[in-house]
Amino acid sequence: MDVAEDDGAYFERGDRAGFFRRLLILLIDGTVVAVAANAWAAGYALLFPESDQDSVVGAAFLVIGFAYLVVLESYSVTLGFLLARVRIVTLKGKRPSILRMTLRLLLWVMGPIHPVIDFLWLGGDDQGQTLRDKLVGTLVVRRKAEPAAQGPIRLKWYTLLGQWYVFFEVERPSAAPPAS
C-alpha cells in the first residue's frame, strides 16, 4: 500500500512488535555487540600489548555499536531483528535514515531515556512504540506486515513523571460510514 504524502502508515496492533519480541531483540543484539567489541579489543591487545585497553574497548563499542545498532538496524538485518522476524519503519512506513537511527540509539546511550522506562512505556502504548520510537518517529513491526490503512499524522500530548511530551503519531483511521 502506498501512503499519501501527508498521511502515515497505520499498522494493526498484531503487526507491531510487542514487549517480549523487543526484549528478545535487545538481548540478542546486545550480546552480539558485546561479544564483537570484546573480540575486537582482545585481538587488538594481542597485536599491540602496550596500548591502553580501556580506550580500545571503548572505541570498539562505539564503532561496532554504531555499525550494528544504527546502520544494520536501519536495514532491519541485525541478528535480533532477523530472528524476531521484524523490521523498523518510519511513520510513513519507509526505512528510517541513518540520522534518525543515530538519534534513536543516542536517546538510550546518552539519555534522557532509560531502557527500563522505555520498555515500561511500550506496555501501555496504544501505538506499540517505545518512548524513544515515539521521539524519533519509528515503529517496529513484523517483517511481512503491510500497513492496514493510512491515517493522518497528528501531534499527541503525553505526561510521564510530571513531564509533558509531544509526539507525532499516525491516527487510527475512522471506520467509513455504512453506504446508504
pLDDT band at 52 (very low <50, low <70, confident <90, very high): confident
What are the pLDDT digits (tens) for 70-128?
999 999 999 999 999 999 999 999 999 999 999 999 988 887 777 888 888 887 788 88
In sequence order, what E strands does the chain have?
A: 7-10, 86-90, 138-142, 149-160, 163-170
Q: Give the distance from CA 121 to its chain's centroid.
A: 13
Look over the chain and give the mean of its residue pLDDT values, rounded to a whole number: 87
How many Å apart are CA 89 and CA 75, to the nearest integer?
Answer: 9
Residue 25 has pLDDT above 90, yes or no: yes
Output 29 or 115, whichever has higher pLDDT: 29
Minimal CA–CA distance to 167: which of 157, 152, 177? 157
